[in-house]
Structure 1
Amino acid sequence: MTNKSMAIVAYITIIGWVISYLEYKKRADKSALVNYHLGQSLGLIILSFVLGIVISVLVAVVPSLYFISLAVTLISLILLLLGIVTANNEAIKPLPVVGKLFEGKFDFTK
Structure 2
Amino acid sequence: MDNKTLSIVSYITLLGWLISFVIGKEKSNSLLKYHLKQSLGLIIFSIVLSIILNVLMLVTKIGMLGIVGFIPLILMIIGIINAANDVEKPLPIIGKMFEDKFSFIG
Q: Shorter-chain TM-score: which interval? A: over 0.9
User: How many equivalent residue pairs?
Assistant: 105
* Structure 1 unaligned blocks of 5 or more: none
User: Which runs of at least 4 in structure 1 moved beyond 2 Å after TM superposition?
Assistant: none
* Structure 2 unaligned blocks of 5 or more: none
RMSD value, Cα: 1.0
Percent identity between matched residues is 47
CA distance in 2 between partners of 1:45 and 1:67 (Å): 22
**What TM-score do the two structures reach when normalised by structure 2?**
0.94
What corresponds to 1:79 in structure 2? 75
Where does 1:1-110 land on structure 2 (aligned, <5 Å)? 1-25=1-25, 27=26, 29-64=27-62, 66-71=63-68, 73-107=69-103, 108-109=105-106
CA distance in 2 between partners of 1:79 and 1:19 (Å): 20
CA distance in 2 between partners of 1:69 and 1:48 (Å): 13
CA distance in 1 between partners of 2:83 and 2:33 (Å): 11
